[in-house]
Amino acid sequence: MERSSPTASVGDRHWRDGARLAVSCALVFCAMCLLVDWDGGSLTLLRALLWGFLSATVFSVLLPPQVSAGPGWLAVRTPWRRIAVRTDALTTVRQYDGVSSHLVLRDVHGHRLEVDPRILAANPMLWHELDTGVRRSLERGTLRHGADVLERLGHRIDDETVHAVFRASGLS
């Protein structure tokens, strides 16, 4: 995967808020556990380390994935790894609905990426980079399955954007 310059990439503009929330929850959890243990008179160094470890676990579970995109690529970074696909060489796109709706993108290089469509809806620049890459995949003939999924998602994102503009202008 080729690297783009930092100015050419865009990221999830709401990720910092989610990361801040994860840090806050983990710190509150740790403080409450330490306070309860201290009040009970059973706080030891080993127990304090245990609470710290559990707080770090809470943080890693709550930390949202960091989604970024650039010309021809989309990447998701978790605390453990970074996964990227070439959006200009996609082969399939599937959407799974349910409790946790997500898109699964596969490229010609065998890379597979899962992303929450709400992140794309909340970040027009991420959606634009993905949409541009998908159009290139269609032009090249690599995208065989899922173009309709992205078209429906694009219409939904456009509708949500129009409604948001109407609400902000007081027309709705």
pLDDT tens for 117-140 read 989 988 888 999 999 999 999 999
Dist. CA 20–CA 12, nearest whole Å:
14
pLDDT of residue 171: 80
Q: Collapsing DSSP states into helix, strand and coil, what is residue 164? A: helix
pLDDT of residue 172: 67
Q: Could you tell me how far CA 158 lies from the centroid of its own chain?
A: 19
The tokens for 101 are: 């709706």
How deeply is 135 buried, as exposed, middle or buried, from its count of CB atoms within 10 A (0-12, 13-18, 19+)? middle
At residue 2, does pLDDT exceed 60? no
Dist. CA 84–CA 95, nearest whole Å:
17
pTM for the model: 0.79
